[in-house]
């Protein structure tokens, strides 16, 4: 099964590029850019990568993101992730970034998008890996601040296909951003949203009402049979992240994770790595963890990948071109 997982083509739909910042790069960029971080060495950084909940992770995550300053930093970060994609047989990735995390530090959005897209172009040309970019709005900030960030993103519509919603979930429901989502839709962006990770299933319902075509996480959906049936009938993708859920105590034990049960009920469940530098592994490691905990069949493992292809923002023609690769593994 390990060999099968390694050779199985994968599509990643839930990946925060800032969450691929490995401790070594964090330390290097901190020193290069003379940005102080609350850690003196690699061991201290690695010790900080142990979390009790979403907020304790976000505290370290934002400290890490502060070392990203120059366009080449965003290029190096993204290129390192694309090399991981190659190693993990990820053939297409849909990548989140947090524009406000950088705008608030005075980093021009052109520098952020420029560095990321330069690396994505290189990955397409040299590694054969396709990708799209999704900008996530920080839900712990106000809707007004989110709309201001959206205004800055509009000139980059050719590079950014969708607007998402992430950061501290509890107390910040999707409905808080009703006007922002409506404006993003008017501008032609697709919509996705983190929902039902720590907060309850009503956040998923709200995200769908606002027009989200994919739910990022969605583990709380099984608290409502009606919602599960809706997700099944409408093939609403759930971009689930098993190692992330375990690291952040969303699930105390991967043997109790509901992603395989939901897959067997006919939902469009996918496996993703979320913030792999912080949560213990990229795509292969997540697939292996699911297998070791839940023992899905090879065909079920393949179905996770096929679901991700179906749920991707690729064109029909691009999906058909990639589909045949899934039956070579």
Distance CA 167, CA 59 (A): 10
Phi, psi of 57 (to 5 degrees): -70, -45
Rounded to 5°, the CA angle 58-63-66 comes to 125
CB 193 within 8 A of CB 212: yes
Judging by DSSP bridges, how do beta strands 269-271 and 238-240 pair with one another?
Answer: parallel
123-149 b/e (C-beta count within 10 Å ≥ 16 → b): beeeeebbbbbbbbbbbbbeeebbeeb
Count of alpha carbons within 13 Å of 6, Cβ hemisphere only? Answer: 4
The CA distance from 108 to 323, in Å, is 38
Q: Is 187 a catalytic residue?
A: no
For residue 173, with 0-12 CB atoms within 10 Å meaning exposed, 13-18 middle and 19 or more buried, which class applies?
buried
Where on the phi/psi map is residue 295: left (φ > 0), alpha (ψ -120 to 50), or beta? left
Q: Which of 18, 197, 198, 206 is catalytic?
A: 197
The partner residues of 97 in beta bridges, in order of sequence, read: 135
**Distance from first CA to last CA of the chain, Å, rounded?**
11
Listed residue (212, 295, 216) closest to 260, CA to CA: 295
Residues recognised as catalytic: 197
């Amino acid at each position: 099964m390990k060999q099968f997982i390694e050779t199985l083509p994968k599509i990643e739909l839930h990946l925060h590029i800032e969450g691929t910042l490995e401790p070594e790069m964090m330390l290097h960029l901190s020193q290069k850019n003379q940005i102080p971080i609350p850690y003196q060495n690699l061991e201290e950084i690695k010790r900080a990568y142990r979390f009790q909940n979403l907020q304790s992770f976000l505290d370290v995550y934002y400290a890490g993101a502060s070392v990203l300053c120059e366009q080449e930093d965003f290029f190096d970060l993204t290129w390192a992730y694309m090399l991981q994609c190659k190693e993990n047989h990820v053939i297409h990735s849909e990548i989140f970034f947090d524009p406000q995390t950088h705008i608030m530090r005075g980093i021009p959005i052109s520098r952020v998008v420029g560095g990321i897209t330069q690396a994505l172009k290189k990955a397409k040309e040299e590694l054969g890996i396709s990708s799209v970019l999704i900008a996530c709005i920080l839900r712990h900030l106000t809707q007004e601040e989110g709309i201001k960030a959206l205004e800055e993103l509009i000139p980059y519509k050719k590079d950014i296909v969708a607007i998402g919603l992430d950061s501290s979930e509890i107390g910040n429901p999707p409905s808080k951003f009703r006007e922002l989502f409506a404006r993003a839709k008017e501008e032609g962006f697709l919509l996705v949203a983190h929902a039902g990770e720590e907060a309850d299933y009503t956040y998923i319902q709200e995200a769908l009402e606002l027009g989200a075509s994919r739910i990022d996480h969605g583990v709380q959906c099984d608290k409502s049979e009606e919602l599960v049936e809706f997700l099944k009938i409408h093939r609403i993708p759930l971009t689930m992240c098993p190692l992330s859920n375990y690291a952040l105590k969303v699930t105390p034990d991967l043997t109790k994770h509901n992603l395989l049960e939901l897959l067997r009920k006919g939902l469009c469940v996918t496996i993703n790595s979320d913030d792999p530098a912080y949560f213990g592994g990229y795509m292969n490691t997540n697939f292996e963890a699911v297998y070791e905990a839940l023992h899905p069949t090879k065909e079920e493992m393949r179905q996770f990948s096929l679901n991700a292809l179906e749920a991707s923002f690729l064109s029909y023609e691009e999906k058909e071109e990639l589909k045949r690769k899934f039956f070579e593994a």
